[in-house]
Structure 1
Amino acid sequence: MTGLSRLTGVEGWILDVDGCLVRTSRAGGTGGTPIPGAAELLTGLAERGHRVVVCTNASELPPAAYAEHLREIGLPVADEDFVTAGSAGADHIAAAHPGGRVVAVGGPGITVPLRERGLEVVEADGLRDPGECAAVLVGAAPSYTHAALNAACLAIEAGAPLYVSQNQPWFHGGAGRSIAISAVMAAAIAWATGAGAEVTGKPSPVLAEALRHRLGVPAERIAVVGDATAEIELARAIGAQAVTVLSGALTADAVAALPDVRRPDHVLPDVAALHHLLSRTPDSAPVSDRTPGVLS
């Protein structure tokens, strides 16, 4: 099975937000505008009865807040279908350390999911015994305090593992790029403590397995759509198809320069092209696999 016939066999979709569904300068689609074709793609997939998860490496806000913003700008995304790197981190820690105490270095994007999963969030000024902390989770926030960073380092020195929402150094939402602050802060904590940070967002194996299980369809019937190499790597970790859209971080030249093993299965200008492609019959829309160029 090749080309479009492979895409028409897809039943589960993992869609990136920034640079894919939304053009924005802030992670999670906040303050952004829909990329043409995004609403039509989401509606079309729902009408076909496909399973869809919208997944972002954002972690400043809880999933419901990001999903609400997408609905406000015309993108039909339910709260329960939105996954963040922060909520993925909370899921992983809850499974590994049920009911544990967690030092949260970040904002509501990690503290809310942690509490929703029955974990105790340790406030920076409430750290009495670092040895009682089960884990440290770093997410995005507008600012960080010395007390929070100190609490995290003390807990790690006492044996708590370090988790970070994501470790991509740069964010690109199709409207310029900026540093990914959670990765930067986790790197600082790792430098101070000598600890390695386990990533819970894209493209980590932790998230890959969670998303595959959430969709509930065979890996070969899943496609990951995004604008960056993180989505390609996530697809490989799942065993899914990788669809790269050139509306954000990657250009056609950048995709062509990737080693063969890191190239996506399909390359398209944007999600409007994907929606158009899925709306055509296989006979009228031949597609080549692992092309380094742009499919028309």
Structure 2
Amino acid sequence: MSRIPATQSPAVPGSTDGGGRSTDRRAWVIDVDGCLVRTATGGGAGGTPMPRAVRFLEYLRARGERYVVCTNASQQTPHWYAEHLREMGLAVEDEAFVTAGSAAADHIARTHASGRILAVGGPGFLETLTGRGLDLLGPDRWQEAEAVVIGADDTYQTRWINAAALAVDGGAAFYTCVDVKWFHGGIGKSIASSSAMAAAVAWVTGVEPVILGKPSPALGQTLLRLLDAAPRDVTVLGDSLVEVELAHAMGSEAILLLSGATSAEEAAAIPAGKRPRHVLEDVEALFNLLAPEEKDHPHE
């Protein structure tokens, strides 16, 4: 896995290290849907950039700040999603884009030496797994599976869900990319398909899956390795409570935006020990906080 080069950069306003001292280095984990992009489809597909989102990433790049864009989407490859964002003007390289699917592939490749995996999901998800050298089994070979992993798809087939349940019931490790109920991208909500399929297998087998996307510690470790950053130097930016939970799992700080999955009332109800560093309306409000001299310039 490539790493984002380390650089020196100013801190987020008000951020401190564990001893209360102001830091001068920042690295960012940035959500896509409901944060950078307003969309009804996972990973930013078919959406439009949030106001100032393009300028926000330009600002980070100009100041040499490291960032990884991370989505809980898993249906396509990181390259597919990153290319789509670049077409919108959002400066995201392939190596700086992490999906729940790529995080799952990284974890499984590290922890299951045989690589014999029963994977349920769409073609892009399967391509992400094979790109890590994993041997994906067909449903007729479920007895050989060391692990089962479920990602997103539009057209799940009963024979694959049956094979996944049989493999888990037979003792295979069980993973899911996400366990959130709904997808929020700033335009309504829709069911998180991989969560629903994983819940079906869990209901049948009585085995709960290990989550490998947000907010799992496994994903947090992947992100820290990619950024090559200390946890205290990382800010996780997102519109959902899972991003706040991810930040706590990483030992990092969070900025929560109210432009997608979380209402102001839900943000106010977060327990004191788990609150984000800042709660802001959207990425435009964050950009204005970081670069007040550009606040009155025309929006991108």
Instruction: Using structure 2 for the length normalisation, give the TM-score.
Output: 0.89
CA contact (8 A) 2:12 2:290 kept: no
1:258 equivalent to 2:266? Answer no
Render the CA deviation track for 1:17-64: whole Å, top value 9, x for unaligned.
000000011111111110011111111111111111000000111111
After TM superposition, the structure 1 stretch with the greater mean CA deviation from structure 2, 223-232 or 72-81, is 72-81
1:228 equivalent to 2:240? Answer yes
1:21 equivalent to 2:29? Answer no
Residue of structure 2 equivalent to 1:12 = 27
Work out the percentage of aligned pairs sharing the same amino acid. Answer: 50
Residue of structure 2 equivalent to 1:45 = 60
Residue of structure 1 equivalent to 2:115 = 100
Residue of structure 2 equivalent to 1:290 = none
Shift of 1:10: 4.5
Task: Output the CA distance in 2 between the equivalents of 1:43 and 1:179.
Answer: 33
Unaligned runs of 5+ in 1: 282-296
Residue of structure 2 equivalent to 1:120 = 135
1:164 equivalent to 2:176? Answer yes
Task: Output the CA distance in 1 between the equivalents of 2:104 and 2:166.
Answer: 20
Task: Output the CA distance in 2 between the equivalents of 1:180 and 1:278.
Answer: 33
Shift of 1:3: 7.7
Cα 1:179–1:75, aligned 2, differ >3 Å: closer, same or farther? same
Residue of structure 2 equivalent to 1:180 = 192
Mapping for residues 8-87 of structure 1, pairs under 5 Å: 9-87=24-102
Render the CA deviation track for 1:232-284: whole Å, top value 9, x for unaligned.
00000111110011111112222112221232110111111212212249xxx
Shift of 1:9: 3.5
Task: Output the CA distance in 1 between the equivalents of 2:210 and 2:24.
Answer: 33
1:154 equivalent to 2:169? Answer no
CA contact (8 A) 1:87 1:109 kept: no
Cα 1:120–1:3, aligned 2, differ >3 Å: closer, same or farther? closer
Residue of structure 1 equivalent to 2:210 = 198
Shift of 1:113: 1.5
Render the CA deviation track for 1:135-158: whole Å, top value 9, x for unaligned.
111011001001111111121122
Q: After the TM superposition, list the runs of 4 or more consecutive aligned residues in structure 1 that deviate by more than 3 angstroms.
A: 7-10
Letter in 2 for 1:4: P
Task: Output the CA distance in 2 between the equivalents of 1:157 and 1:248.
Answer: 37
Cα 1:273–1:152, aligned 2, differ >3 Å: closer, same or farther? same
1:88 equivalent to 2:100? Answer no
- Residue of 195, 211, 224 corresponding to 2:223: 211
Letter in 2 for 1:216: D
Letter in 2 for 1:6: S
- Residue of 147, 150, 164 corresponding to 1:138: 150
The count of aligned residue pairs is: 277
Residue of structure 2 equivalent to 1:294 = none
Shift of 1:131: 3.3
Partner of 1:131, secondary structure, is helix
Shift of 1:108: 2.3
Partner of 1:4, secondary structure, is coil
CA contact (8 A) 2:178 2:194 kept: yes
Partner of 2:15, secondary structure, is helix
Partner of 1:174, secondary structure, is coil
Task: Output the CA distance in 2 between the equivalents of 1:66 and 1:164.
Answer: 20
Task: Output the CA distance in 1 between the equivalents of 2:12 and 2:194.
Answer: 37
Residue of structure 2 equivalent to 1:289 = none
Letter in 1 for 2:55: E
CA contact (8 A) 2:114 2:146 kept: no
